[in-house]
Amino acid sequence: FDVNGAVGDDSTSSRAANLRENLSSCLEILPKLNVGLDVNCKFGGPTDFEYTREMDVFDLLGIGLFHGWVVSNQDEKAYKMFGHLSYNQVVELLIAFEEAQQRIISADAPAEDGAAASKDDDASAGVAASSS
């Protein structure tokens, strides 16, 4: 790794600065890798990941990273829905869906009970009126 570059060459200086930054980032991350790796795979392909700082280590060392959580592009419906999303995005969508579903259930329950009680009251009032 030549981080010094040619003097006066802006593109080389820029690459050197980028390399220094990546090296610094990697040196911070390396000790943490023995307890796990924070990656967020995307379902579109085996090499699709959302960027995290941990990815810099693999990029810098030229190590390919692969995952098996891939939606087949032959399943057009699923691929269209999930192929561009990451694991975290799908989890967020599922949580939002469940929350919306609970709000709908909660909103419908009192309305149905209220409507049923109202019908019962109307029927009782009608019976009372016809008895008089």
Cα distances from 90 to residues 43, 49, 72, 85, in angstroms, run 10, 14, 16, 7
Beta bridge partners of 49: 41
Q: Which range (18-27, 29-38, 44-53, 104-113) has the least confidence? A: 104-113
Q: What is the pLDDT of residue 128?
A: 47
Cα distances from 127 to residues 78, 102, 119, 132, in angstroms, run 56, 38, 12, 9
Query: What confidence category does residue 81 fall into, taking pLDDT thresholds of 50, 70 and 90?
Result: very high
Q: Rounded to an integer, what distance in angstroms lies between the CA atom of residue 60 and that of residue 51? A: 14
pLDDT (mean) for 55-72? 91
